Amino acid sequence: MALSRHTKHGRVVARDGEQLLLRCEDGPHLHTPAGQAKPGDLVRVRSGDDPEIVVSYSGTDYPEPNTELYRLSEERIAGLRARATVLREIRHYFAEHDFLEVQPPTLVPTPGLEVNIRAIGAGEGYLITSPEFAMKRLLAGGLERIYATSACFRAEEVGSHHNTEFTMLEWYRGWAGLDEILWDTEQLVRRSVQAVRGKDAALVDGREIDLRGPWRKLTVSEAFTTWCGFALLGDESADELRRKMSVAGIAVGETREWDDLFYLAFVERIDPGLAQLDHALVLVDWPSALAALARVKPEDPRWALRFEVYIGGVELANAFDELTCAKEQRRRFELERTQRRERGLPVYEIDEKFLAALEEGLPPSAGIALGVDRLAMLSVDSDEIRTVCAFVGDEL
């Protein structure tokens, strides 16, 4: 902090004798003399002069826990500045590569149907859980290189890396595949973190995670062998998967469904393993049971053409080689509706306009969803999503 030399304005955070600590637009500043100013006052100051009190604070013991200055710590302000830098780099990158920015709807008649996602109702529709359906309709209409940064909403997703409302970056390339999407991802993530930190490395728990490409790849089956101690075949029954997990010492309890067992093993064994890596990792070839809107591998339909990016254990992005067959997509939607019904979850309607777009014809395409909040977190070494968000749910 440096003493103010020119006219500044800000709020008095603390007073120590004749010295004031101010929070100004460009950061903390010290000013003397203090004059009659006290913590909480909004002041205008000029070097060497008593501060002009513009708004006198009427409370006591400033900053109190219920004040905005208390809520917005210096760490959080740094996080918000980093977030703004990341968003700027995102737009620069896509402008340089001739992508069109689009604005998908926030309120939709029906959300995604994946069993692990809980939508939030709004009026006669739902807040989007992802802009995916709308963006693929744009692909079908001829917009073949598009991106969007969207506010998305998912119920029951609250934690250090989750907030009910979060910012999703999605982009799609028509007439392209996962290799092109991964190249975009490597460049974009590296550039964004470098713009904040000046280095090609993210920060997680004080450790630098190397972002230089090409990023290493590992199949999901190899990840299970490495960290769970057994091979995932992709087509084994739920009972067989339960048995393998039990032998490996993973407590399965009453968990019965294949997907629930998969994620139980993943969270208990693979997530901690990923967190120890000092480099970015791309997990490829996901089980076809978790294909969602991705194509399966023609040469081995046990696995889907899907990858996820992990940096220091943080799940950052999820990419699909997009399924373009309307008949197969309808079959998957119907299966997900049945699974939701059997598990006592809300059963949403199928998005018929999305399926009609697939019938119209979607070019061979690939797309990805990337968490903007998490990317900002990786640039400032924060394990709390609130550090890079102006507001989170418990502050509203």
Residue 43 lies in a domain: yes
What's residue 3's pLDDT? 46
Give yes or no: residues 169 and 318 share one domain. Answer: yes
Give yes or no: residues 103 and 85 share one domain. Answer: yes
Structure confidence by residue, pLDDT tens digits, 215-262: 999 999 999 999 999 999 999 999 999 999 999 999 999 999 999 999
Q: 64, 84, 112: which is the final residue of a domain?
A: 64
What's residue 5's pLDDT? 53
Give yes or no: residues 333 and 303 share one domain. Answer: yes
DSSP assignments along 74-142, one per residue: HHHHHHHHHHHHHHHHHHHHHHHTTPEE----SEESS----TT---EEETTEEE-S-SHHHHHHHHHTT
Residue 338 lies in a domain: yes
Give yes or no: residues 301 and 350 share one domain. Answer: yes
Distance CA 66, CA 150 (A): 30
Give yes or no: residues 283 and 351 share one domain. Answer: yes
Give yes or no: residues 181 and 45 share one domain. Answer: no
Which residues constitute the domain of residue 110? 74-215+279-395
Q: pTM, whole model, 2 decimals?
A: 0.95
Task: Give yes or no for residue 2 having a pLDDT over 70.
Answer: no
- With a pLDDT cut of 70, the percent of the chain lying above it is 99
Give yes or no: residues 39 and 186 share one domain. Answer: no
Residue 302 lies in a domain: yes
Residue 254 lies in a domain: no
Give yes or no: residues 187 and 328 share one domain. Answer: yes
**Hey, is 393 helix, strand or coil?**
helix
Residue 270 lies in a domain: no
Residue 221 lies in a domain: no
Q: 18, 43, 64: which is the final residue of a domain?
A: 64
Give how many domains the chain has, as a whole number.
Answer: 2
Structure confidence by residue, pLDDT tens digits, 302-320: 999 999 999 999 999 999 9
Give yes or no: residues 85 and 47 share one domain. Answer: no
Structure confidence by residue, pLDDT tens digits, 329-379: 999 999 999 999 999 999 999 999 999 999 999 999 999 999 999 999 999
Residue 159 lies in a domain: yes
Distance CA 393, CA 300 (A): 43
Give yes or no: residues 49 and 129 share one domain. Answer: no
Give yes or no: residues 56 and 156 share one domain. Answer: no
Give yes or no: residues 55 and 79 share one domain. Answer: no
CATH number of the domain within which 32 lies: 2.30.30
> Any idea what DSSP says for residue 279?
B
Distance CA 183, CA 193 (A): 16
Beta pairing, strands 125-127 & 100-101: unpaired
CATH number of the domain within which 159 lies: 3.30.930.10
Residue 308 lies in a domain: yes
Q: What is the mean pLDDT of the chain?
A: 96
